[in-house]
Amino acid sequence: MRVDVVMPQLGESVIEGVVVKWLVKVGDTVAKDQSLLEISTDKVDAEIPSPAAGRIVEILAKEGDTVPIQEILCRIETEKVGDAPPPPPEKWDEEEEGFPGAMARKTGPPIPTAPRAEPPKEVAKPVPPPPAKEGVKVRISPVVAKMAAEYRLDVSRIPGTGIEGRVTKKDVEEYIARGGKEAAAVPAAKPALAPPPAPPRTKPAPPPGAKVTPEGDQVIPFTPIRKMIAEHMVKSKRTSPHVHTFAEVDMHGVVTFRNEKKKEGISLTFLPFVIWAAIEAIREFPVLNAQVVGESTVIKKAIHIGVAVDTERGLIVPVIRNADDKSLHGLAKEIDDIAARAAAKKILPDELVGGTFSVTNPGRMGNLFGTPIINQPQVGILRMGQVVKRPVVIEAGGEDAIVIRPMMHLCLGYDHRVVDGVAGNSFLFRVREILEAGEFHL
Partner 1 sequence: MESVWLGCVEYKKALALQLDLVDRLAGRQCQDTLLLLTHPHVYTFGRSGDQANLLVSEEALTREGIPVERVSRGGDVTYHGPGQLVGYPIVRLARPDLHRFVRCLESALIDALGTFGVSSHRIEGQTGVWVEGKKIASIGVGVRRWVTYHGFALNVTTDLTYFQRIHLCGLKGREATSMIEITGRDVPMEEVCDRVAESSACHIRGFS
Residues of this chain that bind partner 1 (CB under 8 A): 8-14, 20-21, 33, 35, 38, 40-47, 49, 90, 92-93, 96-99, 102-103, 105-106, 224, 227, 349
DSSP per-residue codes, 247-263 = EEEETHHHHHHHHHHHH
124 versus 348: smaller Cβ distance to partner 1: 348
Q: How far apart are CA 324 and CA 331, in angstroms?
A: 9
Verify whether residue 420 is a known catalytic residue.
yes
Cβ atoms within 10 A of the Cβ of 358, count?
Answer: 25
51 versus 363: smaller Cβ distance to partner 1: 51
Q: What is the CA radius of gyration of the chain?
A: 27
Look at the alpha carbons of 335, 339, 341, 345 in this order and tell me if their dihedral is positive or negative: positive
267 versus 296: smaller Cβ distance to partner 1: 296
Q: How far apart are CA 352 and CA 316, in angstroms?
A: 7
Q: How far apart are CA 57 and CA 297, in angstroms?
A: 61
From the candidates 325, 337, 416, 441, give the one annotated as an active-site residue: 416
Cβ at position 34, least distance to partner 1 in Å: 9
Verify whether residue 242 is a known catalytic residue.
no
Cβ at position 65, least distance to partner 1 in Å: 16
Torsion of CA 431, 432, 435, 437, to 10 degrees: -110
Q: How far apart are CA 249 and CA 367, in angstroms?
A: 15
Torsion of CA 328, 329, 334, 337, to 10 degrees: 150
265 versus 294: smaller Cβ distance to partner 1: 294
43 versus 201: smaller Cβ distance to partner 1: 43
Sort residue 135 into left (φ over 0), alpha (ψ -120 to 50) or beta: left
Cβ at position 166, least distance to partner 1 in Å: 13
38 versus 436: smaller Cβ distance to partner 1: 38
* Coil/strand/helix, residue 433: helix
Cβ at position 58, least distance to partner 1 in Å: 22
Cβ at position 45, least distance to partner 1 in Å: 4
Three-state SS annotation for 197-213: CCCCCCCCCCCCCCEEC
Look at the alpha carbons of 374, 376, 382, 388 in this order and tell me if their dihedral is positive or negative: negative
227 versus 283: smaller Cβ distance to partner 1: 227
* Coil/strand/helix, residue 163: helix
- CB neighbour list of residue 389: distance below 8 Å, 6 or more residues apart: 404, 405, 406, 407
- CB neighbour list of residue 227: distance below 8 Å, 6 or more residues apart: none
12 versus 182: smaller Cβ distance to partner 1: 12
From the candidates 65, 232, 420, 441, give the one annotated as an active-site residue: 420
Cβ at position 20, least distance to partner 1 in Å: 6
DSSP per-residue codes, 275-290 = HHHHHHHHHH-GGGGE
Q: How far apart are CA 53 and CA 308, in angstroms?
A: 49
Cβ at position 335, least distance to partner 1 in Å: 27
Question: Which residues are known to be catalytic?
Answer: 416, 420
